[in-house]
Structure 1
Amino acid sequence: MMHWQKVPALLCFALLVISGCKLNPVAQQDSATGELLFQSGFEAGVNVVSRNRDTDIIGADKTLSSHNDWVNDLDNHPAIGNFNIQFQGGDSTMRYARLVPDPTNARNQVLHFWLNEPNVAGSKGRIQANLYNNKGVKEFYQSVRVFLPNDFNTVRTFPKQIHWLTIAEFWNNITWSQEVPYGFRITLGLGKPTEKESDLHFILDAQDCELFPDGKQKYTTLWAETNEAVKVPIGKWFTMDYYYKEGNQQNGRFYLAIAPDGEKRKIVFDLHKITHNSQDPNPDGVTDFNPLKLYTSKELIAHMQRQVKTLQIYWDDFKLWKDKRPN
């Protein structure tokens, strides 16, 4: 996003207020500085390019003075592995990731995920940014601006509960390699609590994974959370900040806050729970995660198609820190 348009990506954080066992979603707090690894507003100088069946982002955002080059600052950072955007099938008539004008301000350029068909062998839909083969980052913080267009109101009318509409995912460790033990993931998604039309809410769960020799997987849920006090904004930009700290039940932490434009920051989750495989004797950090993701079932995609609507997310002002934390 252009400098003069930018809302500060990190406003003052909310102070956690406990009333009984309930979280006050609106409060204020400071955060530790940490090390800024990378930032981009997807402006001039940035390009999305094809990489075989997937895509990549290259170039440097000319509106930012540092930590702004997708290759030199992100891919080549010693703590970071490789960035790309993965589809796992299909073509641009089914899904794409492109740089486009902001739907609310044509002078601003943003990243657009568009998912119109189940592009993964007809069974599900996937568009995801991968930050894979990282050097075991144990503590990190991300900020990104998100816009869900009015088509997302059709998701509210899906005639079932929604438990699978993933927007970010964290692997500690990956669950698809026989050479990597102690698979584990934390999944952040948008959920719908009832079969009737309803607002959407943020959902979060943590799962151990057992990988069998034939490639089949067995996931065991360690914890799951929903915050129905905070509605997912539709038709309005919001800043979404999350923090991940590897640890056990005593020192692990996952934090998520959102700040819709013109509104106060709201804490969605501030959880002190295990954030690695429950059997791992020597957790060594998050090596792989999907900071931007749109991943869901063929049933939800079909529901959107019947209403002549499309699942799509716009992203802007992506920032990533190491060792930054909310207080």
Structure 2
Amino acid sequence: MKNIYLIVVFQLLLFPACAQEQDMESKEGELIFQSGFEPDSKVIARGSDADITGKDNSFPSHNDWVNDLDNHPDIGNFSLQYQGGDDSQRFAKISTEPGKPANHVLHFWLNEANVEGKKGRIQGNLYGNKGMKEFYQSERIFLTGDFNSVRTFPDKITWLTIAEFWNNITWSPSVPYGFRITLGIGKPVKEESDLYFIIDGQDCQLFDDGSQKYTTLWSDTNNKVKVPIEKWFTLEYYYKEGNAENGKFYMTIQPDGGQKEVIFDLTRITHSTKDPNPDGVTDFNPIKLYTSKTLIDYMRNQGKTLQIYWDDFKLWKDKRP
């Protein structure tokens, strides 16, 4: 009887520990893909747009752009999109990091409004996914010194997008209940100012004539943490599909050599308010440089160009902060 009692007590003590361990394991999620754009990663042309193929041999696994990312059962396809223009106006290239030739990075360069002369776009697309309800993303980012001229732009900046998450897309008449979360870099005043991260969630509606309507449901600005310029930093994002009580968007920043800080810890609706059966994010832009002709022209007139370097991109399914 004593032995049975000891076994029962041991099992009771062990159960919470096992449950806690399982919770920790669930927070780690599944690593889908990782790349630092090292050889043999290559940017190749796909018609007027582009793609990345090959394998980053600096990582031991989950490092093949086609076999690990495109062919993952929950992922549709990765591509690089411009929506117009040529290399004299914009490009995305894998190059060596300035000052560190041993390190390779993905370089976004935007010098003219390449989309019908009205706006500028360079973006990575992860489109056609199987409805990701919870995922986590990380990448290192470097804004070149030219971004100091963004600080002097003679107006507020509310449109300088660096990532976007669609649940659902708003450019297809066959897909109802459009919604997006847009993450960007903002400037809060007309005068010279530091730059800050901005975010909003919007219901999206597509009309028969192709026009679109965006209704902002929520927005936020972190005006305490400045966006670093000429210094590498890591951004980590967490998205969870849900309503106003359980939807989440969480983001941190960690400058190289610095402490990690929370930028956004938001409990918000993360799908369309009209969607009776939300089915996850099927399309998103994990890396993006998208803005107005006005800002692009201002930069060029100052002898500057909008440029972002990206490195160490990682994507997990079901990982939590």
Unpaired stretches in structure 1, ≥5 consecutive residues: 1-29
Residue 20 of structure 1 corresponds to: none
Aligned pairs for 1:281-300 (under 5 A) are: 281-300=276-295
Question: SS at the partner of 1:239?
Answer: strand
Kindly indicate whether residue 181 of structure 2 is the aligned counterpart of residue 176 of structure 1: no
Aligned pairs for 1:89-168 (under 5 A) are: 89-168=84-163
Structure 2: how far apart are the matches of 1:195 and 1:53?
36
Divergent runs of 4+, >4 A: none
TM-score using structure 2 length: 0.92
Residue 22 of structure 2 corresponds to: none
Aligned pairs for 1:203-214 (under 5 A) are: 203-214=198-209
Kindly indicate whether residue 317 of structure 2 is the aligned counterpart of residue 318 of structure 1: no
TM-score using structure 1 length: 0.90
Matched AA of 2:270: T
Kindly indicate whether residue 37 of structure 2 is the aligned counterpart of residue 46 of structure 1: no
Residue 302 of structure 1 corresponds to: 297
How many residue pairs end up in the alignment? Answer: 298
Deviations 1:270-307 (A, max 9, x none): 00110000111000000000000000000000110111
Residue 21 of structure 1 corresponds to: none
Identical amino acids, percent of aligned pairs? 68
Deviations 1:102-133 (A, max 9, x none): 12412100000000000001000000000000
Structure 2: how far apart are the matches of 1:169 and 1:90?
21
Aligned pairs for 1:11-90 (under 5 A) are: 32-90=27-85
Residue 9 of structure 2 corresponds to: none
What displacement does 1:32 show?
2.0
Question: SS at the partner of 1:152?
Answer: helix
Matched AA of 2:170: T
What displacement does 1:191 show?
0.1
Unpaired stretches in structure 2, ≥5 consecutive residues: 1-24
Structure 1: how far apart are the matches of 2:167 and 2:30?
21
What displacement does 1:31 show?
9.3
Question: SS at the partner of 1:229?
Answer: coil
Structure 2: how far apart are the matches of 1:32 and 1:313?
30
Structure 2: how far apart are the matches of 1:263 and 1:234?
14
Q: Which structure has the bigger radius of gyration?
A: 2
Whichever structure has more helix as a proportion of its residues is 2
Kindly indicate whether residue 270 of structure 2 is the aligned counterpart of residue 275 of structure 1: yes
